[in-house]
Structure 1
Amino acid sequence: MSLLLAASLVFQGLAILLLGRIAWTDFTTQRISNRHVLLLLCLGLGTLQFQSLQSHSWLEMGISAFGGLALFIALFPFWLLRKVGAGDVKLMSVTPFLIGGSNLALFSVLLLVFAIATATVIKNPFVLPAGMFRQYVQHMDEDGVVPFGVPISAATICAIAFQMYHAVVVATSSGILEQLN
């Protein structure tokens, strides 16, 4: 059992690193690679698999699959209208697999906070310290480009970190980690 927890934490840590790379790439190039999204999907499915084996329940995986499909169907028309990029739609569709169905509410609140913060920075670049950074953000405002991959990644990272913290606290309080010593 503790091996499943460790493998799950490793996969979640790798997902956090990949989400950081996706956020940076989306911020600098306004592109989200299909390869990165597929890798995130594999990491999310692996994490859910380990958690399902540990809890002896496949409900979380089913809820995640339903959530991913629902997000894809809901966001696809916005892509057709050119309001959201295709990479953003795919990244949002993969996030339920990364965070699980039980953390979707937390993810939604975090996404709202990070999206408002991103929009505020884009619309008010004077709050940023560096002149070059300010010019870059002003350029994004003039072109009407907002890298939504950044708040999506940030919200997902925070939700995964919360999930990892919760898993470690539960494992510590139940004595699983003490059995390793």
Structure 2
Amino acid sequence: MVNSSYVLLMLAGVIMLSIAVSLSDYQSRKIPNRYLLMAMAYAFCIIVYFSLAQGWLFFGMALRNGLFGMLIGFALLIPGYFLKQVAAGDVKLMMVFGFYLGPLGATLSLVIGAMIGGLWALAIAWRQGGLGNLFRNIKYMWNSMWLSGFKEMTWDLRSDGAIKMPYGVALSAGAVLVSSWQLWIRFFAN
């Protein structure tokens, strides 16, 4: 059984990181590596502290869960990096969220963050009067993929006409929602 204090401290780390990253990414479109490193150091210290109290088997299980979550976060977001849809900071952020939330939490966090980001992008396109262009571009990308047998996917989504948004904010919102859900399940659902 995982200690409730451990869960609270880990989820507090997710919320603190989400706030810091959201502010930075929104203002400067950058996710500083120092934030991610501090978050990893915080998580590792919590794991070591609780391992001293609960035994080193806890350390192994927590580390395995965290590393598997990192791997899932990386695997789910790296294709977006190669297609130039997200920046490297977004991939690293998702890996850190994966370490905190584990594999299931990383997956849910990305799915929810992607939905938030998609709705946000639609709102930005609508506000800028670019919904028609957005749908024409989606049609063009789909047709070029389909006609080339999914080999022609070289378009650059960071071109001048592309909608630019701080995706770290959407990923952070997804992580906070998953953390809130985990808190609800842990403390209030029973």
Q: TM-score, normalised by structure 1?
A: 0.66
The yes-or-no answer on 1:165 pairing with 2:184 is yes
CA gap of 1:21–1:104, structure 2 versus 1, over 3 A, is: closer
Give the whole-Å Cα distance in 2 for the aligned partners of 1:113 and 1:48: 31
Matched residue, 1:28: 27
Aligned-pair distance for 1:144? 4.0
Unaligned 5+ runs, structure 2? 130-159
Match of residue 152, structure 1, among 171, 181, 188: 171
> 1:63, 1:101 within 8 Å by CA — same for their partners in 2?
yes
Aligned length: 156
Kept in 1: contact 2:47–2:62 (CA 8 A): yes
The 10-residue stretch of structure 1 (86-95 or 115-124) with the greater mean CA deviation from structure 2: 115-124
Partner SS state of residue 86, structure 2: coil
Q: How far, CA to CA, are the matches of 2:77 and 2:115 in structure 1?
A: 19
Whole-Å Cα distance in 2 between the matches of residues 87 and 23 of structure 1? 12
SS, match of residue 188 in structure 2: helix
Q: Deviations over 1:88-115 (max 9, x none)?
A: 1110111111212343443243123212
Structure-1 separation of matches of 2:112 and 2:178: 8
1:111 to 107, 110, 113: 113
- Contact 2:18–2:176, Cα closer than 8 Å, also in 1: yes
CA displacement at 1:167 relative to structure 2: 2.2
Are residue 84 (structure 1) and residue 93 (structure 2) matched? Answer: no
Which of 97, 101, 104 is the matching residue for 2:103?
Answer: 101
Q: Which residue of structure 2 aligns with residue 10 of structure 1? A: 9
Q: Which moved more, 1:25-34 or 1:142-151?
A: 142-151
Q: Work out the CA distance in 1 between the residues paired with 2:61 and 2:34.
A: 27
Closer, same or farther: CA 143–102 of 1 in aligned 2, 3 Å: closer
Does the C-alpha gap of structure 1 residues 169 and 73 become closer, same or farther in structure 2, counting only changes over 3 Å?
closer
Task: Quote how far apart the aligned CAs of 1:47 are.
Answer: 5.4
CA pair 80-101 structure 1, distance change in 2 beyond 3 A: closer
Shift of 1:16: 0.3
C-alpha deviation, 1:78, in angstroms: 4.5
TM-score norm. by structure 2 comes to 0.64
Q: Which amino acid aligns with 2:169?
A: V
Q: Is the 8 A contact 2:73 2:106 kept in 1?
A: no
| % same residue | 25
For the 8 Å contact 1:11–1:46, the answer to whether it is kept is no
Q: Secondary structure of the equivalent of 2:187? A: helix
Letter in 1 for 2:22: A
**Contact 2:124–2:163 (CA under 8 A) maintained in structure 1:** no
